[in-house]
Amino acid sequence: DQQVKQNSPSLSVQEGRISILNCDYTNSMFDYFLWYKKYPAEGPTFLISISSIKDKNEDGRFTVFLNKSAKHLSLHIVPSQPGDSAVYFCAARSGSARQLTFGSGTQLTVLP
């Protein structure tokens, strides 16, 4: 039973355009959400996070939106750059559980 789902295994976007990566969750106890980026042969790198008390968090070109009623979060990258090409994982955590629960990842390809 996947509690965190990334339904799009891949996404291609033109350089300079917006990339939108989506993530859905089923566990209503999740109260903190994170996005990680992973390049081949490297471990995931923390990108941005959001607490459930917020609906938006912004850091430079990266913005995460949280819709609690829909149990949905998204990562927006504007403008997209070729160096953003990587696998993006969303992750979630509840206050009672110690571990992060990860989605299966979305491969983003930014075309020059």
Partner 1 sequence: KAGVTQTPRYLIKTRGQQVTLSCSPISGHRSVSWYQQTPGQGLQFLFEYFSETQRNKGNFPGRFSGRQFSNSRSEMNVSTLELGDSALYLCASSLGTGFPYEQYFGPGTRLTVT
Residues in contact with partner 1 by CB under 8 A are 4, 6, 9, 32, 34, 36, 41-46, 49, 89, 91, 93, 97-105
Is the Cβ of residue 18 or residue 39 nearer to partner 1 in the bound state?
A: 39
* Residue 104 backbone dihedrals phi, psi, to 5 degrees: -85, -5
Distance (Å, rounded) from C-alpha 64 to C-alpha 34? Answer: 9
The CB-of-21 to partner 1 minimum distance in angstroms stands at 14
The CB-of-17 to partner 1 minimum distance in angstroms stands at 26
Distance (Å, rounded) from C-alpha 67 to C-alpha 56? Answer: 9
Write the burial class of residue 112 (CB in 10 Å: 0-12 exposed, 13-18 middle, 19+ buried).
Answer: exposed
Is the Cβ of residue 41 or residue 112 nearer to partner 1 in the bound state?
A: 41
The CB-of-43 to partner 1 minimum distance in angstroms stands at 3
Residue 32, H or E segment: strand 30-38
Is the Cβ of residue 40 or residue 112 nearer to partner 1 in the bound state?
A: 40
